[in-house]
Structure 1
Amino acid sequence: MRFDEFQEFRRRQLGAAPPLLDAAETNLYRALAPMRPEAPAGTHTVYRCDLARAWLRRFELPQEWSRHAMVCRGVRHGLGVVFRWLRTVQARLWLPGDVYPVYFDLARAAGLAPASYPTLPAPALPTSPADDRPEYLLLANPSKPLGRYLSEAECDAVISWLRESPHRHLLIDSVYELGAPFAAGTRRLLDTGRAVLLHSVTKGWLWPQTFGVVLLGPAQAELAEAFRADPPTPDQLRLADRLLTGHGDLPRLVVDELAARAERLFTRLPDEVLGAIPAETRTCPGNYFFPVGIPAQTLHREYGVLAVPVGVFGESRWPGSVLTSLADAFGPTAADEAESGPR
């Protein structure tokens, strides 16, 4: 079931009787709209190099990396630029098949024919032998809808995959990283010298497709000019400056709000369903996706819970589904009303 098909299915189900517990909202920006900062009204000039250094400081990365920190309009834009370059160097590309269908749309638009690997219920890296072509593996850390960071053992496996060939590299989508500095696993992968890191203000500051940074590795140095030739607009740069310098605490507040919503979800779930959610996803900061090894149809029929079928995220053989904590029922207004009782 595609995402748009599921949205129509969800709309019909929520309007039917008996009422379902809506654990299938996926729009973070709609759920947290009151927290989103306003765009600045000024016309002052903001320079990309200053924003790159501010981003590096926030994530406690070396300032000398600024010449490799390419300012862009977000992870989608950054991936589009990278994918077009991968086509020119005839690279092989591996994408997670059950994370984000847009990955495949961007890759195919760039003329690539990506292969896939699964991440649910746990990442399973490709086992095809390496050849002389450049080979890139895209992974997300933290990974959604897996709902957690890569474990130490999983990072070990990724590093082993890299060591099998000098032509292998990583693309790390860290858009769901709301803390600073980056997670230890992400830093380990960066330290290999063979990773490209992509980050943006999309989740932590609730401004999608506005501003991001692509941290290039030595093997991608020639990509710098492509990013310099396709920058964010002056308005987007001013907004990024406002977010990074004037709203630096917002990602922590987003984490706190998402934790509160998750707890409200957990209190509404039947014990059998709650017990099927992996513990590490329930404690991952800023998480609002919770994979559960129960089919969406079973959750609907037997427990009155509306979940997201895993196929909405891409092709998967895993029989489970995904719960989310973004619906209005788990928001602060609903919680206040529940505590106050009937009037």
Structure 2
Amino acid sequence: MRFEEFQDFRQRQLGASSSLLDAAETNVYRALAPMRPEPPTDMSTVHRCDLARAWLRRFELPEQWSGRAMVCRGVRHGLGVVFRRLHAVQARLWLPSDVYPVYFELARAAGLEPASYPTLPAPALPTAPADNRPEYLLIANPSKPLGRYLSDAECAAVTSWLRESPRRRVLIDSVYDLGVPFAGGTRRLLDTGAAVLLHSVTKGWLWPRTFGVVLLGPAQTELAAAFRTEPPTSAQLRLADRLLTEHGDVPRQVVDELAARAERLFERLPDDVLGAIPTASRTCPGNYFFPVGVPAETLRRECGVLAMPVSVFGANSWSGSVLTSLADAFAPTRTGAR
């Protein structure tokens, strides 16, 4: 069942049973709408280079990397630019099959035919041998719907994969990392010199498709020109400046709000269902996706809990499902209720 099909199914199920616990809301922008900062009203000029340095300072990265910090309009835009370059050099691309279907849409729009690997119930990195082509592996850290950061062992496995060929690179989607600095595994992968980091204000500040940064590796300057020809608008740059300078605490507030909602979800789950959620997912800051090794149909029929089948996120043969904590029922206050 794909995402759109599931949304129709969800509405029918909730309409038919008022007692069904909705653990399948995915729209974080709607759920946390009151927390989103307002855009600025002034018309001041903001320069991309200043924003790149401000972003590096916030995440405790060297300011001398500013020449590699490409300002863009968010992770989707950044991936679109990168994927077009990968097509031009005939690169092999590996995408997670069960994280974000838009990855595949963007890759195919760029003319690529990506291969895939699963992340549920745990990431299984590709094992195909390297060839003479450039090869890129896209990971998300933290990953959804896995609902956690990659473990030290998993990050070490990515590093080992990179070492097998000098033509290999890793793309790190860090949009769900709401902390400062970035996760330790992400920083270790950056230290390899073979990583491209993608980040945006989408989740931490609740402003999708507005502003992001693609941090290129030291040997990937060929991508810089492509980003410089596709800048954000002046209004997007002003908004990004305000978010970084005047609303720097919003990501922490988002983390606190999501933690409170997660606790409300956990309180309403049967003990055996709660126990089936991995501890790393239950304790990951800012997480609202919780994989559980129980089929969605079983949860609905036997527990009265509406969960998402894994197919909503993409292809995967795992029989488990995914719970979320974004529905109004889990809000600490009722301000977001309709």
- Where on the TM-score scale, by shorter chain, does this alignment land: which range? over 0.9
Match of 2:136 in 1: 136
Q: Which structure 2 residue ranges, 5 or more long, are not aligned?
A: none
Q: Is the 8 A contact 2:328 2:336 kept in 1?
A: no
Match of 1:6 in 2: 6
1:177 aligns with 2:162: no
Moved more, 96-105 or 9-18: 9-18
Match of 1:194 in 2: 194
SS at match of 1:93: strand
1:2 Cα deviation (Å)? 1.2
Which residues of 2 match residues 15-164 of structure 1 at below 5 A?
A: 15-17=15-17, 19-164=19-164
The 1-side partners of 2:207 and 2:179 are apart by 16
| One-letter amino acid matched to 2:55 | W
The 2-side partners of 1:219 and 1:320 are apart by 41
| One-letter amino acid matched to 1:268 | R
TM-score by length of 2: 0.98
The 2-side partners of 1:18 and 1:177 are apart by 35
Match of 1:340 in 2: none
1:220 Cα deviation (Å)? 1.8
- Residue deviations 1:18-68, cap 9 Å, x none? 520000000000000000011111100000000000000000000000000
SS at match of 1:224: helix
SS at match of 2:220: helix
The 2-side partners of 1:59 and 1:330 are apart by 30
Which residues of 2 match residues 283-322 of structure 1 at below 5 A?
A: 283-322=283-322
Match of 2:274 in 1: 274
Q: Which structure 1 residue ranges, 5 or more long, are not aligned?
A: 338-343
TM-score by length of 1: 0.97
- Cα 1:118/1:63, change in 2 over 3 Å: same
1:336 Cα deviation (Å)? 12
- Residue deviations 1:217-244, cap 9 Å, x none? 1332111011000000000000000000
Match of 1:264 in 2: 264
SS at match of 1:185: helix
Match of 1:223 in 2: 223
Match of 2:239 in 1: 239
1:319 Cα deviation (Å)? 0.4
The 1-side partners of 2:25 and 2:17 are apart by 19
Q: How many residues are aligned here?
A: 337
The 2-side partners of 1:335 and 1:49 are apart by 39
1:91 Cα deviation (Å)? 0.3
| One-letter amino acid matched to 2:206 | L
Match of 2:211 in 1: 211
| One-letter amino acid matched to 1:43 | M
1:331 aligns with 2:315: no
